[in-house]
Amino acid sequence: MIEKTYYKFNKSYFIGSSSLACESAIGILEVTKNYHKRTGKPIKDTIRFRYQGSLSHTSNKKYIDDLLTSGVLIEIEKPSDEFLNEWVYCPESLSRKRFILENAKLTFPTLEDVFKTLRTWIFSTKGSSCINKSEENKFQKNKEKVLEDTTLRGGMKAKPGKSHKNRSLRTTPEHNQEKWSNDDTTLLPNGIKADERASFSEMEKIFDKVISQFISMYDCPSDVIEYFETNCGIEKGEILIDYINKTPISITLFEQNTHHAKVKGLELCHIDPSLKYATRAENLCIGSCDSNRFQGGYALEDKEKRLRVMKIYDLKINKDTDYLNSLSLDELDRIYYEGKFENV
């Protein structure tokens, strides 16, 4: 029999040396009651703690005891099964897909870095210069020394760190920038960006799309294609074409995706980066870094509209930018081409 107690973190907290649970994350203490098979008498319980934003759990008694006495947990009623299954309990189907991706590194060692990149795209957020445990410990020993020249104490410097966690699982709670900026009790991040979050079911869809596009690269090795088709049931599609440059994407571009490189070969691109929850399978594609930089933070249609308004204004066809910005792209095209030919 498993007894479960549900909690919510009231602040970010390191479980052990490096596992950071963010504020507002749901935590679950699971106590398994064990009994002797022959006598039926109770024997030592098995205890483990899992939390939102992690694929694993800890059974380390010291870590769990420290956590339970830390004051960072608020006991709550059991959340809905839908929430737990989407954001806390990783489904077996996704765990299996993750294992298949990890096993691909061993099966195809020459492509190990490629599979590491794919794993990061599917499961993790972007990097962040947030504070680590060592830096937080130094802060807790002398808060005023760290904060004396910051805006929190009337100075000009920003609070050290970031409000969003570094390379976190996509199910981590959403960060609160304003709360973090005004909090002088900790430097730790309190979540991740909304546009990088995704539930477990969404990550499964992202896995399927990313792997499908990967094996659809024109020079993806046939044995790699067969591996994913056989183990995941994901079929190769039409040759993958870059979403802006419209050129075939080569698997060799992954060679530019080094850890230190500012300009990558390939990136996981958001078709419409302006969406609050942009990390959804239908809004993602593998694209070139060049295309991603060209697009910037705008949806492609929005960028086209801005460029068209600029052209109409510069040609003195119409200078009412408020009016022009309210029009659709088709309406702007009509004004642009009619006005352009009138001026010829």
| pLDDT tens digits along 121-158 | 999 999 999 999 999 999 999 999 999 999 999 999 99
Q: pLDDT tens, 251-307?
A: 999 999 887 667 789 999 999 988 999 999 999 999 999 888 888 877 888 888 888
Q: Is 154 left (phi over 0), alpha (psi -120 to 50) or beta?
A: left
pLDDT of 55 strictly over 50: yes
pLDDT of 32 strictly over 60: yes
Residue linked to tokens 């078709």: 271
Q: Are residues 188 and 266 in the same domain?
A: no
Q: Are residues 283 and 314 in the same domain?
A: no
171: domain range? 133-196
Q: Are residues 98 and 213 in the same domain?
A: yes
Spatial separation of the C-alpha atoms in residues 325 and 332, rounded to whole Å: 9
Q: pLDDT tens, 63-87?
A: 999 999 999 999 999 999 999 999 9
Lowest mean pLDDT among 6-15, 25-34, 233-242, 259-268: 259-268
Q: Are residues 22 and 104 in the same domain?
A: no
Q: Are residues 174 and 221 in the same domain?
A: no
Question: Is the separation of the CB atoms in 236 and 225 below 8 Å?
Answer: yes
Banded model confidence at residue 44, pLDDT cuts 50, 70, 90: confident
Q: pLDDT tens, 195-205?
A: 999 999 999 99
Q: Are residues 283 and 169 in the same domain?
A: no
The b/e string for 31-67 (b: 16+ C-beta within 10 A; e otherwise) is eeeeeeeeeeeeeeeebbbbbbbbeeebeeeebbeeb
pLDDT of 59 strictly over 50: yes
| Alpha-carbon dihedral sign for residues 107, 111, 112, 115 | negative
Q: Are residues 248 and 115 in the same domain?
A: yes
- For residue 203, give every residue at least 6 positions away whose Cβ sits within 8 Å of its Cβ, in sequence order, or none: 94, 122, 123, 170, 171
| Alpha-carbon dihedral sign for residues 232, 234, 235, 240 | negative
Q: Are residues 84 and 118 in the same domain?
A: no
Q: What is the mean pLDDT of residues 310-316?
A: 86
Q: How many domains does the chain have?
A: 4
Average pLDDT, the chain: 92
Q: Are residues 268 and 222 in the same domain?
A: yes
pLDDT for the residue numbered 258: 81
Q: Are residues 70 and 209 in the same domain?
A: no
- For residue 67, give every residue at least 6 positions away whose Cβ sits within 8 Å of its Cβ, in sequence order, or none: 13, 15, 27, 49, 73
- What is the percent of the chain where pLDDT is above 90? 73
Q: Which residue has the higher pLDDT, 320 or 106?
A: 106
- For residue 152, give every residue at least 6 positions away whose Cβ sits within 8 Å of its Cβ, in sequence order, or none: 159, 182, 184
Structural domain ending residue among the three candidates 196, 216, 245: 196
Banded model confidence at residue 343, pLDDT cuts 50, 70, 90: low
pLDDT for the residue numbered 203: 97
Structural domain ending residue among the three candidates 147, 174, 196: 196
Q: Are residues 284 and 227 in the same domain?
A: yes
Q: Are residues 88 and 98 in the same domain?
A: no
Q: What is the mean pLDDT of residues 91-119?
A: 97
Lowest mean pLDDT among 8-17, 82-91, 211-220, 257-266: 257-266
